[in-house]
A and B are shown apart, each in its own frame.
Chain A
Amino acid sequence: MLADPVALLRPTSPARQFRTRLVMALAFAALVVALVPLAAIAWYVISKGIAVINLDFFTQDPPGDLSAVGGGIRNAIVGTMEMTGVAAVIAVPVGLLVAIFDVEVGRQPALVIRFVIDVLGALPSIVVGIFVYSLVVVAQGHFSGFAGSIALAIIMLPPIVVTTEEMLRLLPRPIAEGARALGLSRWRSFLSVFLPTAFSGIFTGVLLAISRAIGETAPLLFTALGNNFFSLDMSEPMQGLPLLIYRNALNSAFPAAEARAFGAALTLVVIVLLFNLTGRWMVARSRPSGGR
């Protein structure tokens, strides 16, 4: 961190050096304290999860009675993928358009939109669940996978807008000037120049947004509700991995429910990390060229 000439100036007073060492040790201790729960949860979820995972766990549906041994989590995996997929299909285009609008309209309105997006992104996810319940579920008259998708889309929207906007603003000036020099209209510039150039950054944002939404339980409680049976129908109540883990955790006095919860938790964590780490890896890779 320190340049070499600076190191030459390092003071020698032992008391002062000790203070720096002490702070360093405390800072290091803070890191260790934070990593203890991470290591503990990794160990528990992996060791207890592996124990129940086999092929049947992914290809069978759970038994009607949570306390019964056996069955799998197929309905939850399919439901999570379906609801998250539909949510992404809704949130990505809307997020891109909002971000482009934000970049285009100039400073003052952009600040307002950003403020709304920031507040929206900080909404408790259970409140998002209530919102969607009040509009979609009440209007439909019943819980549905579609309502769950809407809730997840609202969760995804803010991070997608924020990263897209950041990526567009980070574009090197010569690219914008080049597009203008070509005589491209604004919409053409975005479509054929800016968005493709910022693609990897935007894609990363989308992946991270999905990884966040996929693990959300609270917005699904009063929207998708959960379903013990296999269903592909978005207009019916739908099971998701987080919902299945929650319901089995509530019944974890039964060994079968506890085992199922840990198996599903391991599955969910692996899926989340797959999206999350791919996204992060892309950030790390794209940083030298386009990053700050």
Chain B
Amino acid sequence: MAQDDPGATESRGPEGLGSQVLHRRRLTGDAIFRAVTGAAAVLAFALIALMAYDSISSTGPVFDRFGIWGFVTGTRWSPSFTVYGAIPFIYGTLLTGLISVLIAVPIAIGIALLVTEFLPRRVAGPVAMVVDLLAAVPSVVWGLWGLLVLVPTLRPFEQAVAGSIGHVLPFLGPPTPGPSYFAAGLIVAIMIIPIVAAVTREVFAATPRLQREAVLALGGTRWDVIRQVVLPIGRTGLFAAIILGLGRAIGETIAVTLVIGNSTNMAGSIFAPGFTLASVIANEFNEATESLHPEALIALGVVLLAIAVMINGAGVLVRRRFERGLNRAR
């Protein structure tokens, strides 16, 4: 970057003359500049805060009627009887989130290890890029593929598991119509693999070189490097990656709506159809004509917002702690 310094030759110009005047003008210019950028930042955040406030305040009637606690812990959702409770959807959101994280995290760690520890750099870049393509496919396209290809493929497998192990473990039991919490968790897992892998990759790549070489110099294998340096140093960062993946998973909407089966019942089996917070909003909002129905759906959005902010806030904080720890270690 040494060559692109065109100003260097001009710096002998008469800029210094009348610096007093220049100085004052510069200050006003900069004051305006700061004011404009500051106003943009404040305005953008104020607008979004206003939207959040409007959404939350429009749910007033629902919370007035059921109480915040009553709504959040209500187990029944029945618009035709004006009964609204969020539990079936909170359950569905956490269950699909858990399934997706359980599937995605080991795969993402494997990919991150492969890219940072095993593959030569020339190959690692393109491999990482291909994995990132999973994230480039829009949610609705995953949903379309999930509905028409994945769900029919999964059905016989789900039936086989429910028919055998399902007798012993009820959470693997029937019903098995195809669309299910499990199908949703699986499709979300595919979608969050690149996100978890990308963060994990960064975490592993940030391992101090000296410590890696120390293990190698002591006669350690590359597995020893991973087990004794990369994983322990990256533990916090890995945790952050998992939380961020979970945060993304619970907000996934359209793909889930297309494969989860859309049932307001809360079933014990992961092969049963259900709903997540995001998918019930997407599915019912445009047809919500019963009394309090739209408000109750927005209230579900507020619950989702609260869960998402908690999870993602935790993820960001843990990630920062990892970065701080790394800076100290260096």
Contact = CB atoms under 8 A, between A and B. Distances in A.
Given A44-B149, A174-B1, A20 B38 contact: no
Interface stretch (A53-61, A63-71, A81-89, A176-184): A176-184
A258 B147 CA distance: 11
Minimum-distance CB pairs A-B, first 4: A30-B110, A124-B251, A215-B138, A187-B33
Interface of B is mostly: helix
Contacts of A29: 110
B51 A131 contact: yes
A196 B262 CA distance: 50
A123 B251 contact: yes
Contacts of A123: 251, 305, 308-309
A134 interface: yes
A276 B133 CA distance: 9
Interface of B: 1-2, 4-5, 7-8, 10-11, 15-16, 19, 22, 25-26, 29-30, 32-34, 36-38, 40-41, 44-45, 47-48, 50-52, 54-55, 58, 106-111, 113-114, 117-121, 125, 127, 129-134, 136-145, 147-150, 190, 193, 197, 213, 216-217, 219-224, 226, 244, 247-248, 250-254, 258, 278, 281-282, 285-286, 298, 301, 304-305, 308-309, 312-313, 315-316
A219 to B, nearest CB: 9
A50 interface: no
A122 B29 contact: no
Interface residues of A, number: 100
Nearest to A11: B219
Given A9-B216, A11-B219, A252-B148, A124 B278 contact: yes
Contact of A31 (B1, B131, B141, B301): B131
Contacts of B44: 94, 98, 157
B145 A217 contact: no
Contacts of A214: 138
Contacts of B130: 35, 38
Q: Which of A97, A113, A242, A261 has the most CB of B within 10 A?
A: A97
A10 B222 CA distance: 9
Interface of A: 1-2, 6, 9-11, 16-17, 19-20, 23-24, 26-31, 33-35, 37-38, 40-41, 44-45, 93-94, 97-98, 100-102, 104-105, 113, 115-116, 118-120, 122-127, 130-135, 138, 154, 157, 172, 174-175, 178-179, 181-183, 185-188, 190, 193, 197, 211, 214-218, 221-222, 225, 242, 245-246, 249-250, 252, 258, 261-262, 265, 268-269, 272-273, 276, 280, 284, 289-290
B54 A268 contact: no
Contact of B144 (A135, A245, A272, A284): A245
A34 B141 contact: no
Contact of A135 (B50, B143, B305): B50
A2 B216 contact: yes
Given A182-B11, A217-B138, A276-B136, A135 B54 contact: yes
Q: Which of B4, B134, B140 has the most CB of A within 10 A?
A: B140
Contact of B138 (A118, A186, A216, A289): A216
Given A122-B251, A181-B11, 9 more contacts: A37-B134, A38-B137, A100-B37, A105-B38, A119-B313, A122-B308, A122-B316, A127-B305, A222-B285
Contact of A34 (B134, B309, B312): B134
Contact of A23 (B41, B145, B223): B223
B254 A242 contact: yes
Nearest to B139: A217
B282 A221 contact: yes
Contacts of B133: 38, 273
Contacts of A188: 29
Nearest to A6: B216
Contacts of B132: 280
Interface of A is mostly: helix
Nearest to B319: A118
Contacts of B219: 9, 11
Q: Which of A30, A127, A183, A186 has the most CB of B within 10 A?
A: A127
Contacts of A174: 1-2, 5
Given A1-B120, A119-B309, A31 B147 contact: no
Contacts of B248: 122
Given A181-B11, A222-B286, A113 B41 contact: yes
B286 A225 contact: yes
A58 B196 CA distance: 37
A269 B137 CA distance: 6
Contacts of A6: 213, 216-217
Given A97-B40, A249-B140, A185 B26 contact: yes
B263 to A, nearest CB: 16
A174 B55 CA distance: 48
B278 A217 contact: no
A126 B19 contact: no
Given A222-B285, A222-B286, A249-B147, A272 B37 contact: no
Nearest to B54: A134
A261 B109 CA distance: 34
A183 B5 CA distance: 15
18 contacts: A11-B219, A24-B114, A30-B106, A31-B114, A40-B145, A101-B38, A172-B1, A178-B8, A181-B11, A186-B34, A214-B138, A216-B139, A218-B139, A218-B254, A218-B282, A222-B285, A249-B258, A252-B148
